Amino acid sequence: MSSDLYCTDLVRRFGEHRAVDQVSLDVPAGSFFSILGPSGCGKTTLLRLLAGFDRPDSGDIFIRDQRMNTVPPNKRPVNMVFQHLALFPTMSVADNIGYGLKRRKVAAAERRKKTERVLEQVGLPGLGDRMPQQLSGGQRQRVALARCLVLEPTLLLLDEPLGALDLKLREQMKVELKHLQKAFGTTFVYITHDQSEALVMSDRVAVMRNGRFDQVAAPDVLYREPATPFVASFVGDNNRLDGEVLGVDNERVRLRLDTGGEVSGRPSSALAVGQRASLFIRPESMLIGADLPASFSRIETQLSTTLFDGANSRIETRLGERELFARLPQDGSVGDLQPGTTVSLGWEPQRATVFAEAQV
Amino acid sequence: MNRTAGKLSLLLLLTPFVLWIVLLVLLPHVQMLRVSFQVRESWDSLSWGVTQYSNFFAESYYWRTFIRTGVMSMLTTALTLLIGFPIAWYIAKLARGRARGVLFLACLIPFWASELVRTYGWMILLRESGLFSGWLQALGWVDGPVELLYNDAAVIVGLVYNALLFMVVPLVTTLDGLDDNLVEAGYDLGGNHWNVLREVVIPWAMPGIVSGCIVVFMLTLGSYLTPTLMGGKDSAWFTQQIFTQFITRFNWEQGAALGVLLLVLSSLLVWLGLRLTGQNLRKVLG
């Protein structure tokens, strides 16, 4: 498959600090690629390197096999949707969209036609005469997208554009962005700190930390088979238990927890007996009750509280110093639980991942 | 009771402002307007008429100076904008932290001296026996001393220098509010420097540009010292004629008429400028 964007060993230093540190990536044409990471992980710096607002200290950027390192932003086949959208406040919606076309010397009549068509495509027909300030947050979002998409860029960069929207609209726009990306067939590179945005929309997600990629994978792989303890705790909710390796056999690692008790999980890397290790288990894989199959790992915890939230209801329990969460099924299989009582939690070892000494 | 107290405190707050407007702005102008329509018939009798105004149009020296002052003031305003804009851009967008304050201060420092001192400063540099003349001779570019003072260029140099701060301050304020992302978006969508300046930066800065231009234009049009000291005999300025009428000739009626005309000219040009740039006074004054 051809790549629209291909980067090798990108480095960007600010003084001693490496904001982007040896990042390589390969984004296939027409795909939705997300870079997910906490604030300050270097994702915005990386995006600015791709847009051309900043130059890498070393490494190369190729877009459709053209080296882009020294190409200025206005000459790159790349457009960007800014975090605060950056719609020109002194221009109407149509002029905002027409700005890029005008730079390409598209004739006025053609420009008007293209502007009208793209406004229809993003679901804002006939709003060309409005000023950006007169639009709602969701509408502004669409105008910002239309302004880039009308130029048919090879690559569209998006810098957390949903951050300013309220929760409900954000959920709506997530799905819509995904549909628009499919409809236009443009390659999207999306950066966000919101793991749900990345998981819902992307074909592939890169999890970034301290200027490096921890893991690049499809969303479901990222969720089920995290490569590092950071990915395990950053993507989705997770419970963490620390202990010492007792034995490794047959794709299973047995762990003695610091709080006592013995549990098992799937090793993510080579582990040695006696080594410190952390086990991660998702709340929905943690089952409540005493009558679990014998192959399951089991712990006894103190119930702190139950958190009712419809299908996402969970219980919060304590094991030593740690807070643990488990999904609380709403089908009546678990009886009434009183705070302070002892609750048995268990999981199928296959569903837990064990890492050597997590430093998160 | 409470409402009366509220009204009273509003009244008290407004009083100084109202007094200032009425006593120092409105009354003198009304008085001047009245005087300008008085015609002295003999030493103890007056009548009403437009003699002073017809004098203005009949005497070519008056209206020529009038037009000259208007044109030179516009030229000065345009030059001040051209010089002030890059300075304001540097202060608002490129300078960081301490440098910003220092630059602002550098613009302000000349105003700690009076206009007279500032103008004499320029005269020391530009006069025949001045520094520039000396340097030009030392470099061998000219044979004898050159007189750089007492021409229109010297007047404009002095006026631009006096006006610069009043252009830079409103520009810095508006440019400060310009989101850097807007500029980046301008480039990202394919614009070059000129496109971004013309379509993104200038429309955004328009209120600052217009308010800076109004202030500079008014200041320049009404300035007296700089054109008088640096312009010499051939560079007449309209304020000089008002001065002459009031002080030298003691012809208050003619002086008042010229004063009214200057006020009308400046108001007219400001109004025209606002119309042409599509701004209104409310927007410009924020």
- pLDDT tens column, B112-148: 888 888 888 888 888 888 888 888 888 888 887 888 8
Q: Which of A52, A83, A147 sits opposite B189 (nearest CB)?
A: A147
Q: What is the CATH number of the domain that holds A53?
A: 3.40.50.300
Query: What's at A192, amino acid-wise?
Result: T
Residue pairs spanning A and B at CB distance below 8 A: 63
How many domains is chain A partitioned into structurally? 2
Q: Is B199 on the interface with A (CB under 8 A)?
A: yes
Q: What is the pLDDT of residue B54?
A: 87
Q: What is the mean pLDDT of chain A?
A: 90
- Name which residue leads in pLDDT, B129 or B286: B129
Question: Are residues A193 and A279 both part of a single domain?
Answer: no
Q: Please, which pLDDT band fits residue B82 given cuts at 50, 70 and 90?
A: very high
With pLDDT > 70 as the criterion, what percentage of chain B qualifies? 97
Q: How far is CA B112 from CA A141, B116, B163, B217, in A?
A: 50, 11, 14, 22
Phi then psi dihedrals of residue A334, to 5 deg? -110, 130
ipTM for the predicted complex comes to: 0.82
pLDDT at B285 over 70: no
- List the one residue out of A194, A98, A192 whose CA is nearest residue A148: A98
3 state SS for B65-80: HHHHHHHHHHHHHHHH
DSSP letter at A180 equals: H
pLDDT confidence band for A360 (50 / 70 / 90) = very low
**Predicted local distance difference test score (pLDDT) of residue A340:** 84
Lowest mean pLDDT among A221-230, A275-284, B64-73, B140-149: B140-149
Average of pLDDT values for A175-180?
A: 90
Q: Which residue of A has its CA nearest to B203?
A: A90
Looking at every residue in chain B, the average pLDDT score rounds to 87
Please tell me whether residues A186 and A281 are part of one structural domain: no
Kindly state whether B194 is in contact with chain A, defined as any CB-CB distance less than 8 angstroms.
no
**Cα separation of B35 and B30, whole Å?**
9
Chain centroid, CA A313 distance in Å: 23
| pLDDT confidence of residue B114 | 85
Q: Is pLDDT at B252 greater than 80 in this prediction?
A: yes
In the chain, the amino acid numbered B215 is V
Looking at residue B246, what DSSP letter applies? I
Condensed to tens digits (0 to 9), the pLDDT of residues A103-147 reads: 999 999 999 999 999 999 988 998 999 999 999 988 999 999 999
Q: How far apart are CA B79 and CA B160, in angstroms?
A: 7
Task: Tell me: pLDDT of A357 over 50.
Answer: yes
The per-residue pLDDT for range A59-89, each reduced to its tens digit, is 999 999 889 998 999 999 999 999 999 999 9
Q: Which chain B positions have a beta carbon within 8 Å of A147's beta carbon?
A: 189
Which ranges constitute the DSSP H helices of B92-250? 98-108, 115-126, 131-138, 152-176, 180-188, 193-196, 202-221, 225-231, 238-243
Would you say residue A294 has pLDDT above 90?
no
Pairing of strands A287-288, A276-281: unpaired
The Cα-based distances of B225 to A173, A287, B206 in angstroms read 64, 90, 30
Does residue A13 sit in the same domain as residue A94?
A: yes
- Contact by Cβ (8 Å): A8, A27: no
Range of weakest confidence among A188-192, A298-302, B142-146: B142-146
Could you report the per-residue pLDDT of A25-53, keeping only the tens digit for each? Answer: 999 999 999 999 998 899 999 999 999 99
Interface of A with B in 106-145 (CB under 8 A): none
A163 has a chain B CB within 8 A of its CB: no
Output B251 or A281, whichever has higher pLDDT.
A281
Residue A273 DSSP one-character state: T
Residues of A in Cβ contact (< 8 Å) with B185: 80, 82, 86, 88
**Confidence at residue A358, expressed as pLDDT on a 0 to 100 scale:** 54
Q: What share of chain B is helix, strand, coil (3-state, %, to 5)?
A: 80, 5, 20
Is beta strand A353-356 parallel, antiparallel or unpaired with respect to A276-281? Answer: antiparallel
Mean pLDDT, rounded, for A348-360? 80
Query: Domain coordinates of chain B in residue numbers?
Result: 53-284
Give the DSSP letter of residue A85. Answer: B
Looking at residue B282, its pLDDT comes to 67
Q: SS3 for A246-264, per residue? A: EEEECCEEEEEECCCCEEE
DSSP-derived 3-state class of residue A83: coil
Q: Does A83 touch chain B (CB under 8 A)?
A: yes
Residues A342 and A225 in one domain: no
Alpha-carbon gap, residue A63 to A60, rounded angstroms: 10
Of residues A51, A53, A104, nearest to B190 (C-beta) = A104
Give chain B positions within 8 Å (CB) of A73.
Answer: 184, 187-188
Q: Which residue of A has its CA nearest to B200?
A: A88
Please say whether the beta carbons of B255 and B239 come within 8 A.
no
CA nearest neighbour of B107 among B177, B166, B176, B173: B166
**pLDDT higher than 80, residue B278:** no
For B206, the closest chain A residue by CA position comes to A90
Q: Give me the sheet containing A322-327, strands edge to edge.
A: A287-288, A342-347, A297-307, A314-319, A322-327
A227 and A145 in a common domain: yes
Average confidence (pLDDT) over B13-31: 89
Average pLDDT over residues B202-224: 91
Q: Residue A130 corresponds to which tokens in the numbers above?
A: 């409005």
Q: Is A72 on the interface with B (CB under 8 A)?
A: yes
Q: What is the CATH classification number for the domain harbouring A330?
A: 2.40.50.140
Q: A194 and A268 share a domain?
A: no
Residue A170 sits in the same domain as residue A249: no
pLDDT tens readout for residues B144-194:
788 888 888 889 999 999 899 999 999 999 999 999 999 999 999 999 999
Read off the pLDDT of each residue in B194-205 and give the average, rounded to a whole number.
Answer: 93
Q: Find the domain containing A345 and state its range.
A: 237-356
Rg for chain A, CA atoms, rounded: 24
Among residues 160-189 of chain B, which lie with CB inside 8 Å of chain A?
Answer: 179, 181-182, 184-189
Candidates B199, B204, B206; nearest CB to A99: B199
Q: Among B182, B195, B206, whose Cβ lies nearest the Cβ of A103?
A: B195
CA-wise closest residue to A81 among B207, B276, B235, B189: B189
A261 with A168, same domain? Answer: no
DSSP B113-153: S-HHHHHHHHHHHHSTTSHHHHHHHHTTS-SS----SSSHH
The pLDDT, as a whole number, for residue A104 is: 92
- Is the domain of A177 the same as that of A47? yes
Domain C-terminal end among A165, A197, A232: A232
User: Which of A232, A251, A272 corresponds to the end of one domain?
Assistant: A232
Based on the fold, state whether residues A245 and A342 are members of the same structural domain. yes
Asked if residue A290 and residue A177 are part of one domain, the reply reads: no
Q: Which of A232, A263, A292 is the last residue of a domain?
A: A232
A39, A132: one domain: yes
What phi, psi does A157 have (nearest 5°)?
Answer: -100, 135
pLDDT score recorded for residue B284: 62
pLDDT band at B1 (very low <50, low <70, confident <90, very high): low
Residue A90 touches partner B, C-beta closer than 8 Å: yes
- Class of domain B53-284 as given by CATH: mainly alpha
B200 to chain A, any CB pair closer than 8 A? The answer is yes
> What whole-number distance in Å separates Cα of residue B117 and Cα of residue A197?
65
Q: Which of B190, B203, B204 sits opposite A103 (nearest CB)?
A: B190
Does the pLDDT at position A333 exceed 80? no
